[in-house]
Structure 1
Amino acid sequence: MVHEQVLVSPKTVADNALGLIMNYVQLHLKSQVQAKHHFHWTAPLPGLLKLNVDGAMFGELCKSGVGCILRDDKGKVLMAALKAESEVEEPEAVELIVVLRGLQLCVSMGISRIQVESDCLLVVEALEHNNMAGSLLGLLYQDIKSISSCFVECSFVYVPREGNRAAHGLAIC
């Protein structure tokens, strides 16, 4: 092989490629470990409850799973739920379904102040900015916005997957 007008042996090229791959793998593993230590569940402000939600798709089973966990400002679990749903075509849809199901449960419990955390940035941004009314999933967004008006306070917050492990664990059960 010729690189910058210098003849390089195939062994040298292979060794360099393997070295780059090993460096990438080590860096990738290190960043995953650092992320797990950096991102973790954090308690809401006093008087506010936090609902972590997550959805999972199981195409081979033609099912989706939704999981949610409600905790107070001390981290005490007040409610945890998981439910099998029918298969959906898009990950965004299952994330919307779990937000809706979680809020429905919280309304039935008489909760008035809630913060909903999801690891789906697209859903959180759409709910916070009210910009999905005309989308294919607009009816789900409208249902969520309607039920969220039942709360004195209801906000939607993005959290990386590492900070949403409990809800994710429920969704994949």
Structure 2
Amino acid sequence: MLKVNYDGAVFCETNEAGLGAVIRNSAGRVVASGVERITLPQSVAEVEAAAARRAIVLAKELNLSSITLEGDSEIITRALQDAEQSFATFGNLIDEIRFHADSFLNCNFSYVERKENSVTYSLARHAKHVSGLVVWREDVPPPIVSVLLADSG
């Protein structure tokens, strides 16, 4: 079971948002990480849902079989855990995440406190410095290494 953490960050000055994802194995080692800069959605919840979608798509592209998708948005986690269709503005993203979740042998949705999600928050903030989507295999971008080491220790 691999942990797939996600987070979003808002860049109001440029009307954009950053999405961050990190995938770690049971020993806490990075399998992959990614960042993406997108046009700012209408709400923070939509940013978080977009980050969750980016994370699960990354996990799917890596052909992983069992994951726990973990984020620090209680609203998004509850929406993903709820069997009912979401009629929120981010409902289409929730539906897409659930669709992708069905392709895994095992996929759980979990909430994590913000302080336990510092690597993905830093990745989301780092998206300000990239164009489009950037993915690292078994690594994080250099500016995030210190956050990763602090999180691991």
RMSD: 1.0
Q: Which has the higher contact order (CA 8 A, sep 6+)?
A: 2
The answer to whether the 8 Å contact 1:68/1:170 transfers is yes
Report deviation, 1:132.
4.5
Report deviation, 1:60.
1.2
What corresponds to 1:148 in structure 2? 101
What corresponds to 1:52 in structure 2? 5
What corresponds to 2:134 in structure 1? none
Counterpart secondary structure, 2:26: coil
Consecutive aligned runs of 4 or more in structure 1 exceeding 6 Å deviation:
none
Aligned length: 126
Structure 2's unaligned 5+ residue stretches are 127-153
TM-score (norm 1): 0.70
Distance 2:24 2:32 in 1: 7
1:69 to 14, 18, 22: 22
Distance 2:69 2:62 in 1: 15
What corresponds to 2:78 in structure 1? 125
CA shift digits 1:116-170 (9 cap, x unpaired) = 1100011001101134522222211111110110001111111111100000010
TM-score (norm 2): 0.79
Paired-residue identity, % = 28
1:109 is the counterpart of 2:96: no
Counterpart secondary structure, 2:21: strand
What corresponds to 1:90 in structure 2? 43
Hey, which of these two has a bigger chunk of strand by percent? 2
Q: Which amino acid aligns with 2:5?
A: N
Structure 1's unaligned 5+ residue stretches are 1-47
Distance 2:8 2:83 in 1: 21
Q: Which amino acid aligns with 1:156?
A: F
What corresponds to 2:117 in structure 1? 164
